[in-house]
Amino acid sequence: MKKRAILLVACILSTLIVNSQPTSSWFVVKEVAKDVWQINDKGAVIYLIIGHDSALVVDTGIGAANLVGQIRKLTGKPLIVINTHGHGDHAGANYQFEKVYVHQADLDAAATNSTPERLKAVLANMPEEQRPSGDDQFKGKTFNTKLIPVVEGDVFNLGDRWLKVIETPGHTPGGICLLDIGNKLLFSGDTNNGLVWLWMKDALPLSRYLLTLEKQVQKIDEFTTIFPGHGDPLPADFIKDQVACVKAILDGSCQSKPYESFAGDAKVCTVGRASVAFSPENL
Ligand SMILES: [Zn+2]
């Protein structure tokens, strides 16, 4: 009887362990495709793609919390870390990793936005009750991260999944997407999301961004789902709405509205599911 009771307790415990999801009061974590985890870092979305031999981390978020600790709750495999571009909400936690891949044209931005000093500034600007606590507080080793440039066509081999770099300049000069070739998934950073910012100083002219979108449409059969750097996954044909939106801005047929954000003011146009915030001085 005693033996049966012990066995029962062991069974319940093992069930709890298997079914338990990694918890955090900072990150919101969910599996969005097989072995693809979405780690939401207060609105900045990081993806962890787990392969047979290694795992790919797409973007490092805003950098205020213990990202590497969160990732280690999901996988113990060797990590390859890449930034889709150099903005501070995509490269923020680079300092938690020894090396990070980024496109050459965004290398300086990634270097500026990913230092431990920046972490201190980010935390100092946050009310104390909003700062990460417990396991979410980063107390690990900080790195003088080595940034390694990538170019179009580079492929990261995870053992049973291959992710190819696609250059997608526009939102920033060095923006890239990553295509999971076998599974037809596109990790798009800020190139494709519900509202793309094309008005910031480092954005390329809107007409250049249109070429990027048209290049993506030519490859649209190569992916079924888009995993953006902000917001939930999108169907591949979402890019067609983006193309229509940018064309409507360029040919003057879009009735744009004023757009205000914490970072500055611009204009915004919406067509179908896609909105683009732009500067009339940078078409
Ligand atoms: Zn960005």
What the chain holds in terms of domains, given with CATH numbers, is 22-193+219-241 (3.60.15.10)
CA of 192 to the centre of ligand 1 (A): 11
Question: Residue 2 gets which letter from DSSP?
Answer: H
Please give the helix or strand (H or E) that residue 108 lies within, else none: helix 107-112
Averaged pLDDT of the chain: 92
**Does 167 have pLDDT greater than 80?**
yes
Q: What is the pLDDT of residues 214-255, one digit of tens each?
A: 999 999 999 999 999 999 999 999 999 999 999 999 999 999
Q: Name residue, tokens 């990070």.
A: 100
Distance 9 CA to ligand 1 centre (A): 49
State the residue for tokens 């996988």: 75
Compute the distance from residue 202 Cα to the ligand 1 centre, in Å: 10
CA of 56 from ligand 1 middle (Å) equals 19
Long-range contacts of 241-244 (CB under 8 A, 24+ apart): 241/271, 241/272, 241/273, 241/274, 242/192, 242/196, 242/213, 242/274, 242/276, 243/210, 243/213, 243/214, 243/217, 244/271, 244/272, 244/274
DSSP 8-state assignment for residue 283:
-
What does the pLDDT average to over 26-38? 97
pTM, full prediction? 0.91
Tokens of 206: 């809107």
CA of 201 to the centre of ligand 1 (A): 12
Cα-to-centroid distance, 62 and ligand 1 (Å): 11
